[in-house]
Amino acid sequence: MRLASGISMKPCLYIFAKAPHLGKVKTRLAAGIGKVHALRIYRAMTAKILREMQDPRWDTVLYVTPDDCAYANFGGLWPQNLPRFMQNGGGLSERSARLFRGKGPVITIGTDIPAMRRSDIAAGFKALKKNDAVIGPALDGGFYLIGLNAPVDPELFTGVRWSHAQTRKDMCAAIDGRIAFLRALEDVDDLAGHLRHKALV
């Protein structure tokens, strides 16, 4: 395992990954089903996403928090073969902006969309060849994927209201250019989202 340098000739996929500590992950889901069950679901979703999203067509990098867990693997949950890039604190707007400071097509995702597939990432990078941005809409008004042809203005994410019904609308309004949209998927963020996802599988 190595820390990522942020320099690559390939398109890059960054996966936001939070250390699986009891009571620190999926707090809105935990409010409905308890901390232990929420942690199990989080670990299962994370494992599925990290397994699914590795592909030789792009570099896959874990974007991890907290920083002191950069070298951890949590019983194999964070694969040793994937490079790591530390989030280094700050709000979500600031942490998102850091990923688009380099050059080339970049896509970022989280681990909350168990229905997401490798084909969605491939479709996103394909869309960036003809568009300035690509967004994977989440059914709650947010988005599960954003891709941009970096570098971009570091202030791009500043006005976005995160975890809000208008999150995607804010993001689209901030992007000055042509946006492509992928299929809409369920974001498993709380008990209602978890139950809707279970009903579909």
- Domain limits for position 116: 12-200
Q: Give the bridge partners for 121, in sequence order.
A: none
pLDDT at residue 158 is higher than 70: yes
We report the CATH number of the domain holding residue 134 as 3.90.550.10
The whole-number average pLDDT for the span 121-132 is 98
Domain-embedded: residue 61 = yes
Domain count, the chain: 1
Domain-embedded: residue 7 = no
**pLDDT tens sequence across 4-58:** 655 557 999 999 999 999 999 999 888 989 999 999 999 999 999 999 999 999 9
Structure tokens given for 121: 């990432």
Closest by CA position to 41, among listed 30, 56, 52, 57: 30
Domain-embedded: residue 90 = yes
| DSSP labels, the chain | --B--S--SS-EEEEEEE---TTTS-HHHHHHH-HHHHHHHHHHHHHHHHHHS--TTSEEEEEEESGGGTT--TTTTS-TTS-EEE--SS-HHHHHHHTTSSSEEEEEE-S--TT--HHHHHHHHHHTTTSSEEEEEBTTSSEEEEEEEE---TTTTTT--TTSTTHHHHHHHH--S-EEE---B----SHHHHHHHHHH-
Amino acid in the structure at residue 198: K
Domain-embedded: residue 3 = no
The pLDDT value recorded for residue 138 is 94
Mean pLDDT value across the chain: 92
Instruction: Please report, rounded to a whole number, the percentage of residues in the chain having pLDDT higher than 90.
Output: 82
Domain-embedded: residue 4 = no
Domain-embedded: residue 6 = no
**pLDDT tens sequence across 87-124:** 998 999 999 999 999 999 999 999 999 999 999 999 99
Domain-embedded: residue 5 = no
